[in-house]
Amino acid sequence: MRNIVSVTACPDYEPQTVRAALKELLKPFGALSFVKPGAKIVIKANLVSMIKPENAATTHPELLKALCEMLVEKGADVVVGDSPGGLFNNVYVNRVYAVTGLKAVTETGARLNQNFEHAHAQNPDGAILKDLEYTSYLDDADAIINFCKLKTHGMMSLSACVKNMFGAVPGTFKPEYHYKYSKHADFADMLVDLNERFRPALCLVDAVTGMEGNGPTAGTPRHIGCLLASDSPYCCDRVCAGIIGLNPDEVETVAAAKRRGLESEFDICGQPDAFRVSDYKLVRERKDMSFDHELPGLAGKLAGKFIQGALSSKPAVKKAMCLGCEKCREVCPAKAIVMKDKVPVIDRKKCIRCFCCQEFCPKGAMQLHRPIIAKVLNRRG
Ligand code: SF4
Ligand code: SF4
């Protein structure tokens, strides 16, 4: 059976606009016909951090509320949750719910997840993730709905459906995963394994206002004006990439899914090109640049490594914006950051370019730096 990607206009977050758009969006999926009375549905939102909805880092509460209303009307028992970066406990996560506006979903009869247990499981079918630590509330679901936000991402270029399932890993374990899967291609395979392990029944994307530039937490809100839905996170991310002007084959997660034969041919309902933003500010590296073949042997390998290093984006602190809070040092899985005169200094030899420091800097002071040569060689910055 072919997968479907549905795209519908949603110009703003007004309750009536959102509800009408969701209804239209979900028509190709039988208007949530897979949801039976009494079914337990977990909505895995993107609640990356304690950030207000207008900053466009998290799934907008009005959309989550409208989806909860539709599910509750069908008789489902609905739980909304996520594991943000940081502690996965009652106090911290409930503060994240409050700041991200999630309390609104409880007005519908849905609940916010209050189970903060972890579970451990073997994952023999994973390509790279052979065992995993995960948030155990996901085990209670008859079906998971992945509701993400369309954003740029320092490490992976794109944060949408596939990346959103990283929230299945408890926040305190995320640095360990970054360190273990430090190569970008391995990290992408790990994310695909998480998607295969949890297999969301449906993926939805909040692309009403996306995030561009210094994503996924400190970028700039950018109006796109649509919602997407799919029964495949991989097909949906391919369409998302196209909307913001990324070449889907340069997005590691999309490339990993394709390489593994997980991305099928799919039908599109709607007109994604109508929402394409031609000057979306991207985070992009050329994945197609390899210099290993230019010189033979070890010399070629070393030259290739040097050139690749010179072209790669790196985290760099904007001193004028830095609070000296040390959050970047605390989250760095490679222990590559030390504080000097209250400013972070990065040991480039230790840095694995996971961009956790950029993602969790509360002031957006840790930014992605692209060498000028890379900007010149890429078509767009
Ligand atoms: S997290 Fe940001 S503000 Fe805090 S020390 Fe690091 S760069 Fe500075
Ligand atoms: S310095 Fe930043 S990008 Fe480098 S390993 Fe540490 S957290 Fe990751």
Give the per-residue SS3 of 234-257.
Answer: HHHHHHHHHHCCCCHHHCHHHHHH
Does residue 288 fall inside a structural domain?
no
- 64-111 confidence digits (pLDDT tens): 999 999 999 999 999 999 999 889 999 999 999 999 999 999 999 999
Please tell me if the CB atom of residue 352 comes closer than 6 angstroms to any atom of ligand 2: yes
Q: Residue 189 pLDDT more than 80?
A: yes
Instruction: Identify which has the larger pLDDT, 310 or 14.
Output: 14
Q: Which ligand is nearest to the CA of 357?
A: 2
- 216-258 confidence digits (pLDDT tens): 999 999 999 999 999 999 999 999 999 999 999 999 999 999 9
Q: Mark whether 36 and 89 lie in a shared domain.
A: yes
Tokens matching residue 69: 């209303």
**Residue 29 near residue 71, CB atoms below 8 Å:** no
Mean pLDDT of all residues in 51-61: 98
Q: Residue 296 pLDDT more than 70?
A: no
Query: Which residue of 177, 327, 352, 366 sits with most ligand 2 atoms within 8 Å of its CB, as the best mutation to test the pocket?
Result: 352
Ligand 2 atom 7, closest CA: 332
- In the chain, count of helices (H) and strands (E)? 12, 15
- CATH code where residue 258 lies: 3.40.50.11440
What is this structure's pTM?
0.89
Mean pLDDT of all residues belonging to the chain: 92
pLDDT recorded at residue 305: 60
Does residue 361 fall inside a structural domain?
yes
Please tell me if the CB atom of residue 154 comes closer than 6 angstroms to any atom of ligand 2: no
Mean pLDDT of all residues in 44-68: 97
- 4-31 confidence digits (pLDDT tens): 999 999 999 999 999 999 999 999 999 9
Please tell me if the CB atom of residue 338 comes closer than 6 angstroms to any atom of ligand 1: no
pLDDT recorded at residue 287: 47
- 128-184 confidence digits (pLDDT tens): 999 999 999 999 999 999 999 999 999 999 999 999 999 999 999 999 999 999 999
Q: Mark whether 88 and 34 lie in a shared domain.
A: yes
CA-CA distances (angstroms) from residue 156 to 59, 104, 171, 343, 359?
A: 19, 31, 18, 26, 12
Q: Mark whether 64 and 196 lie in a shared domain.
A: yes
Does residue 291 fall inside a structural domain?
no
Nearest to 268 by CA among 300, 230, 296, 313: 230
pLDDT recorded at residue 292: 42
Does residue 356 fall inside a structural domain?
yes
Q: Mark whether 181 and 321 lie in a shared domain.
A: no
Nearest to 160 by CA among 100, 246, 53: 246
Mean pLDDT of all residues in 205-213: 97
pLDDT recorded at residue 290: 42
Instruction: Work out how many domains the chain is built from and give that number.
Output: 2
Q: Mark whether 364 and 270 lie in a shared domain.
A: no
Ligand 1 atom 6, closest CA: 328
**Residue 375 near residue 369, CB atoms below 8 Å:** no
Does residue 44 fall inside a structural domain?
yes
pLDDT recorded at residue 121: 97
Which residues are within 8 A (CB) of 37 and not within 5 positions of it... i.e. 6 or more apart?
A: 74, 75, 76
Q: Residue 373 pLDDT more than 70?
A: no
pLDDT recorded at residue 222: 98
Please tell me if the CB atom of residue 332 comes closer than 6 angstroms to any atom of ligand 1: no
pLDDT recorded at residue 291: 41
Q: Mark whether 311 and 267 lie in a shared domain.
A: no
- For residue 216, cis peptide bond before it (omega within 30 degrees of 0): yes
pLDDT recorded at residue 132: 97
Share of the chain above pLDDT 90, in %: 86
Q: Mark whether 147 and 38 lie in a shared domain.
A: yes
Does residue 345 fall inside a structural domain?
yes
Please tell me if the CB atom of residue 355 comes closer than 6 angstroms to any atom of ligand 2: yes
Please tell me if the CB atom of residue 317 comes closer than 6 angstroms to any atom of ligand 2: no
pLDDT recorded at residue 368: 87
Q: Mark whether 339 and 222 lie in a shared domain.
A: no
Q: Mark whether 238 and 327 lie in a shared domain.
A: no
Q: Which domain holds residue 120?
A: 3-275
Output DSSP code: residue 57: S
Query: Which residue of 323, 355, 369 sits with most ligand 1 atoms within 8 Å of its CB, as the best mutation to test the pocket?
Result: 323
* H or E segment and range at residue 315: strand 314-317
Please tell me if the CB atom of residue 337 comes closer than 6 angstroms to any atom of ligand 2: yes
Q: Residue 293 pLDDT more than 60?
A: no
Output DSSP code: residue 271: -
From the alpha carbon of 178, which atom of ligand 2 is closest?
A: 8
From the alpha carbon of 357, which atom of ligand 1 is closest?
A: 1
From the alpha carbon of 344, which atom of ligand 2 is closest?
A: 1
Tokens matching residue 137: 């509330």
Distance 326 CA to ligand 2 centre (A): 13
**Residue 182 near residue 126, CB atoms below 8 Å:** no
Which residues are within 8 A (CB) of 103 and not within 5 positions of it... i.e. 6 or more apart?
A: 97, 112
Please tell me if the CB atom of residue 365 comes closer than 6 angstroms to any atom of ligand 1: yes
Please tell me if the CB atom of residue 336 comes closer than 6 angstroms to any atom of ligand 2: yes
- Among 257, 275, 293, residue at a domain's last position: 275
Distance 150 CA to ligand 1 centre (A): 25
Does residue 281 fall inside a structural domain?
no
Mean pLDDT is highest, among 129-143, 272-286, 304-318, for 129-143
Does residue 320 fall inside a structural domain?
yes
- CATH code where residue 310 lies: 3.30.70.20
Distance 214 CA to ligand 1 centre (A): 14
pLDDT recorded at residue 380: 44
- Among 230, 256, 275, residue at a domain's last position: 275
Mean pLDDT of all residues in 290-315: 61
Q: Mark whether 332 and 208 lie in a shared domain.
A: no
Q: Would you tell me how many other CB atoms lie within 10 Å of the CB of residue 124?
A: 6
Q: Mark whether 10 and 100 lie in a shared domain.
A: yes
Q: Which ligand is nearest to the CA of 333?
A: 2
Q: Mark whether 233 and 324 lie in a shared domain.
A: no
Ligand 2 atom 5, closest CA: 351
Please tell me if the CB atom of residue 342 comes closer than 6 angstroms to any atom of ligand 1: no
